[in-house]
Chains A and B, each alone.
Chain A
């Protein structure tokens, strides 16, 4: 796998230097769903949109109108069951990669849910294992600060993000080490720590230069540290993805020989992306979980913070599938 990150590109340069075989966007209640789409769609073909179908919520209706106004867009129902969702995404990738040994994929993860991001990466891994290399460009735009909800919703899901990421340890007696990407959801990280009872916990705390967001996550960290004084803190700059990735990779490498490594990526979606890539790279030694309130979480319309766009270029090739062996 090769990783290259650029944060200074503009949309025109991005499309000028790449010819994407297909592109994935999302249609949900966040207004930032269409942030990149508006800038890029004219130069893209084979556009697939994950439809979260939530009429009346946030900016969904407005987003849906934008997507529906264009004819060359294919819709994938995001709320369908895992097998159907997977089959739809695979169909799109297969058709784009037909007769090729390399495909260029564009994926805007800003409003994509974590399960879909996981499936897309999983399928690219699958293509790579079958000799089709992917050049993936991921885009992400930060949202303007929205205060954390007063109360965190009941946990609806706490499980491996998909079976593919459930991990496989060779020794059931090894302790659990937890790497947790901290978000601002009050108490959710602590409940995960209490549940998994890790011997060692490393909290990755995002720092995006926004005073309010950093303050929220800082508060959350302090709460956890009160209960788990031995928790280790690692601050990361959300705008420096490459550094985040290598920090995660290094933490996993240090932990995996003597423990079962569980990652729970909360917080910014870029942390989730980093966790997915690390889970693939260290597969199957990493157990990647998601914890979420699902439909219990109140919908929050996130508005794009202009000028905070990130583009990450990843080459998913056969070397990723062969990079680390289990035994």
Chain B
């Protein structure tokens, strides 16, 4: 298999929209996302945000609709999607306009000018995306070919965008926008080098596009294109990627602008991390509201069942691409432990009985639990239980807790530390259901994992559980590497984001294995009102990195404007590190949880220097 198709390249960011379209699997909420309505699409890294935005551009829609449209269904988009790319490198580039001293160390008070510079630089990239889209529209025939040389139209656009000179064509205006972007750097450079002073910088800013509201620019631009190209019916969607990294002023303007109006000619679609301080504006009375003014679209699945269908489609597509005659994931990956035919009642009674027998022999607390008078009759004869509610309560719901305790515990006795089985690999996490859960409905993780497994498997053969397990561990370790890159400037003790996450993971694991068996174990946590600002900033980073998953209550919104009292779980991909089952379980307040953060040591479990009693197979 070609190396270039491994995990590292399953990233839509640098792929042209036409390429993205070729392998796109629409998530269940794609019809909602693609509506002509403002959208706020939130999700952690890798959740498919960039792919989704790129799929709304004319080139991707055209590509999708022209490839086997009958099998996949057309994307009925009647607007022009203008994709505005952004990332951390660009954010650093623009963010460094926030300097406060010259190259020689002279202190400078440039106040609002640096905000204006950042605003102007970001606006210039919006213009660049608009020019590119106009070019695409001409290429695809949606705008007349003559538009490329419509000097009057480009003259007007140049005027709106404060570009100097006259006599523009599509090509020359694109060059002028690039020059504007270069010019911002040159001017700032001159100021930084002391060639121009504050007064001259201010003059430059006031003559440029630096303070203009981007909404106003967009409106005027659309007006101009409409009037010169006679395209009154043309609607637009401005697609801002990684918008949480955009300058504050732009964020405030665009988020506040997400209001629905009756005669809308353009909408804004923003992708953002799950939490951003600017969300406060969306929960305030009088601000734009979810459902009325914009659609909030979370791209994560708090409950693993919700993401299984999407994952199933992705996996089927991947196996088909790899030449599998029967690409069903059930066949290629097999089922996870106790997951096959789970809903077919009595067919698995003997397996439940075997599990119960096994666990009662190692876990005294489980034995005590099932021997309780109120439950003895149930667990002594599982096959006799036909009432579905009773089966759900006593067998299906506690299955995860029973399975994991049975798999990992060698013995559990009252007043003794638990002893763990010595296992060379954690194959418990293999199989279709657990792989789908572990990858959290994150297309990049799932596709990468499956490709890596397939690269080690003969085409057409099922993937061996040991290969699945090794690749799961490898993916988890890569994800842990990523988490190490999140900086923690306040850390004084060598601890950072990953340590913070591990603290939660170990504490939950401690409760799960260290305490008595319970059918509804603690596997999630809520944030107390006592949490300080620093703690909350780490929670926010963990959430945006996808390491913590927000669990909205029943009908609660996925939009987080504060953390206090909210419930979270650890990302399932990290769970093999702590030997945790892939269910969200019962929540506990973080204060109570972290009071129990030191991992217990037992005599049989190998003690690791880094992750203590978690046996590391890597």
**A residues engaging B (CB < 8 A)?**
82-90, 122-123, 126, 129, 150-160, 163-164, 166-173, 175-176, 187-188, 190-192, 194-197, 199, 226-230, 260, 262, 284, 287, 291, 293-296, 326-327
| B190 nearest CB across to chain A (Å) | 10
A-side contacts of B89, CB under 8 Å: 167, 169, 176, 196, 260, 262, 287
| B127 nearest CB across to chain A (Å) | 11
Known A-B contacts A166-B93, A188-B484, A229-B6; the reply to A154 vs B478 at CB < 8 A is: no
B101-134 contacts to A (CB < 8 Å): 101, 103-107, 125, 128-129, 132
Does B185 contact A284, Cβ atoms closer than 8 Å?
A: yes
Does B182 contact A326, Cβ atoms closer than 8 Å?
A: yes
Does B178 contact A171, Cβ atoms closer than 8 Å?
A: yes
| B69 nearest CB across to chain A (Å) | 28
Cα–Cα, bound, A227→B606 (Å): 26
Cα–Cα, bound, A151→B81 (Å): 46
Using CB atoms, name the residue of chain B closest to A122: B103
B-side contacts of A163, CB under 8 Å: 96, 99, 192
Known A-B contacts A199-B14, A326-B182; the reply to A155 vs B487 at CB < 8 A is: yes
Does A90 contact B482, Cβ atoms closer than 8 Å?
A: no
- The 9 tightest CB contacts between A and B, nearest first, are A87-B105, A154-B496, A86-B105, A175-B14, A83-B101, A194-B482, A191-B485, A195-B485, A166-B96
Does B93 contact A197, Cβ atoms closer than 8 Å?
A: no
Does A90 contact B105, Cβ atoms closer than 8 Å?
A: yes
Cα–Cα, bound, A175→B489 (Å): 28
| B45 nearest CB across to chain A (Å) | 9
A-side contacts of B496, CB under 8 Å: 154-156, 296
Cα–Cα, bound, A152→B494 (Å): 9
A-side contacts of B484, CB under 8 Å: 152, 154-155, 187-188, 191
Cα–Cα, bound, A126→B192 (Å): 10
Which of B95, B129, B478 meets A190, CB within 8 Å?
A: B478
Does A191 contact B8, Cβ atoms closer than 8 Å?
A: no
Cα–Cα, bound, A129→B190 (Å): 11
B48-86 contacts to A (CB < 8 Å): 83-86
| A128 nearest CB across to chain B (Å) | 11
| B6 nearest CB across to chain A (Å) | 5
Using CB atoms, name the residue of chain A closest to B121: A168
Cα–Cα, bound, A192→B485 (Å): 6
B-side contacts of A154, CB under 8 Å: 484, 488, 491, 494-499
Cα–Cα, bound, A89→B101 (Å): 14
Known A-B contacts A168-B93, A188-B484; the reply to A123 vs B8 at CB < 8 A is: no
A-B contact pairs, 8 of them (CB 8 A): A82-B101, A153-B494, A160-B96, A169-B89, A173-B132, A176-B87, A191-B483, A227-B481
B301-336 contacts to A (CB < 8 Å): none
Using CB atoms, name the residue of chain B closest to A284: B185
| B37 nearest CB across to chain A (Å) | 25
Does B11 contact A172, Cβ atoms closer than 8 Å?
A: no
- Which of B4, B90, B100, B125 counts the most chain A CB atoms within 10 A? B90
A-side contacts of B425, CB under 8 Å: none
Using CB atoms, name the residue of chain B closest to A126: B103
- Which of A129, A173, A188, A230 counts the most chain B CB atoms within 10 A? A173
Does A167 contact B93, Cβ atoms closer than 8 Å?
A: yes
- Which of B129, B178, B179, B481 counts the most chain A CB atoms within 10 A? B481
Does B482 contact A126, Cβ atoms closer than 8 Å?
A: no
Known: A86-B101, A191-B483, A296-B496. 4 other contacts (CB 8 A): A86-B105, A167-B89, A284-B189, A296-B494
B1-37 interface bits toward A, Cβ cutoff 8 Å, 1 = contact, 0 = none:
0011011110101100000000000000000000000
Does A160 contact B185, Cβ atoms closer than 8 Å?
A: no
Cα–Cα, bound, A197→B14 (Å): 10
Cα–Cα, bound, A157→B129 (Å): 32
B-side contacts of A173, CB under 8 Å: 83, 85, 129, 132
Using CB atoms, name the residue of chain A closest to B107: A83
Cα–Cα, bound, A188→B480 (Å): 11
Which of B485, B491, B498 meets A158, CB within 8 Å?
A: B485
Using CB atoms, name the residue of chain A closest to B11: A197
Q: Does B204 contact A (CB under 8 A)?
A: no
| A117 nearest CB across to chain B (Å) | 15
Using CB atoms, name the residue of chain A closest to B6: A229
Q: Does B610 contact A (CB under 8 A)?
A: yes
Does A229 contact B3, Cβ atoms closer than 8 Å?
A: yes
Does A168 contact B128, Cβ atoms closer than 8 Å?
A: no
